[in-house]
Amino acid sequence: MRHRNEFMTIMRRLPGTKQESVNRFSVVTVGVAVISGLLSWQHACGQNALYTASEIQGAEIVCQLNNLGDVAGRAVDPATGEGRAATWNHAGLRRLILGRLAGGDYSSASGINDAGKITGASNVTGAILPYLWTRGNGFQRIRLPSGDTCGQASAVNRNGHVTGYSSGPNGKRAFLWRHGNDVRDLGVLEGGNYSSASDVNDADDVVGISGSAIGDRAVLWASTGEIIDLGTLPGDTSSEASALNINGTVIGYSKGSQGMRAFLWTASSGMQPLGVLPGGDSSRALGINDAGVIVGTSASSSGDRAFIWTSTTGIRDLNTEASLPFGVVLVEARAINSRGQILVLGMNMHEHGAEEEPAPCAPAPSSSFLLTPQ
């Protein structure tokens, strides 16, 4: 009991201290393992944690992880105090500030592949532009479709091919960029006037959103050139695709009078709802791995919570399955890799009087974590 009281005292002192980042990492370590005979707080309460949590230090934004466990996002550059694209290495989650395009003062990373190639957006004079970063060559501007003047990249696949959107006289358009400055405007659905891509798999299939004659639709741009309208869940009026895996399984969310509902789409079964957590009325699917395990965020009777979904177990609250620091609640899971590691955002409920819904790749709440299966 004495050890437990000391542990809770440390947690209460955590906010506002000059050594906050160091203490948080120490607390996470205590919370996920047996150290000097002290059980983690979840184990002491009789729960069996399935994941250990490692805090991602210094993150403003975390957006994606690769199959090694490397993370891409944005951090404050200690040398300038400005936001810079950053990556955290899987070996200890050591942070590396990547820099920016020449002439700019801002950058952010949104995608990373297993070779460590990173994509995102950086500014130059008068425009935000997509880039590809490699360890040997640094920042490379990605060529935009003819006539376009700005854009952002969202994802990069194993081949180093990048997807995102660009803007110009024809409006906002999804694109796919390949080596040799081969860039393709992916187009829009019939009757639509804009599109944007969110993810690309290793077969060069791309997913995202497109306007259409009947509203916004989740779309799959197949590598064969076909644009597939994925539709909506029954009764809904619009949808958006977030990600897909190598098998062509697509996830996202469908919207209508019933709210927002996470979906899974396959060519054989069409669009299926993933459900919501108990007491909730909305959900969004944000990440999927090649085994078909899905993560995202759902409303619940306790507020917004990160979830994990499998075909055998359905939707589950990740907070019941991970060892976490005292007072931290996981509100959104953004990505999952082939090892089952999950990139999540956490909120310290002692620091926030009310919960706020984090926007995609918005500044992170109290903490960002990498969950690793035990």
Strand order in the sheet with 206-210: 195-200, 206-210, 217-221, 227-229
User: For residues 239 and 216, what is the distance between their CA atoms, to the nearest angstrom?
Assistant: 6
Length of the chain (residues): 374
Q: What is the pLDDT of residue 23?
A: 37
Q: What angle do CA 339, 343, 345 make, to 5 degrees?
A: 160
Structure tokens belonging to residue 344 = 């999540």
- In whole numbers, what is the pLDDT of the chain averaged over residues? 86
Percent residues over pLDDT 70 in the chain: 83
User: What is the Cα–Cα distance from 374 to 368, expressed in whole angstroms?
Assistant: 19
Count Cβ atoms below 10 Å from residue 78 Cβ, excluding itself: 10
Confidence category of residue 125, pLDDT binned at 50, 70, 90: confident
What pTM does this model have? Answer: 0.84
Does residue 355 carry a pLDDT above 60?
A: no
Nearby residues of 45 by Cβ (< 8 Å), 6 or more positions away:
none
What separation, in Å, do the N-terminal and C-terminal C-alpha atoms of the chain show?
A: 26
Give the pLDDT band of residue 36 (cuts 50, 70, 90): very low
Look up residue 45 and give its two tokens. 């309460």
Which alpha helices (H) appear in 39-182, and where do they start and end?
41-44
- The per-residue pLDDT for 181 is 76
**Percent composition of the chain: helix, strand, coil (DSSP 3-state, to 5):** 10, 45, 45
Nearest CA among 162, 166, 148, 185 for reference residue 64: 162
Mean pLDDT for the stretch of residues 19-41: 31
3 state SS of 120: strand
- pLDDT band (50, 70, 90) for residue 362: low
The pLDDT value recorded for residue 180 is 76
Q: Each residue of 309-340: pLDDT tens digit?
A: 999 999 999 999 998 988 899 999 999 999 99
Phi, psi of 232 (to 5 degrees): -140, 170
Tokens 């919370």: give the residue: 31
Q: Is the pLDDT of residue 301 over 90?
A: yes
Instruction: Give the single-character DSSP code of 119.
Output: E
Q: What integer pLDDT is reported at residue 104 of this predicted model?
A: 87
Q: 135 vs 115, 116, 286, 292, CA distance in Å?
A: 10, 8, 28, 31
DSSP-based three-state secondary structure for 42: helix
**Does the pLDDT of residue 165 top 90, yes or no?**
yes
3-state secondary structure 228-258: EECCCCCCEEEEEEEEECCCCCEEEEEEECC
Bridge partner residues of 86 (DSSP): 73, 97
Enter the tokens of residue 46: 């009789």
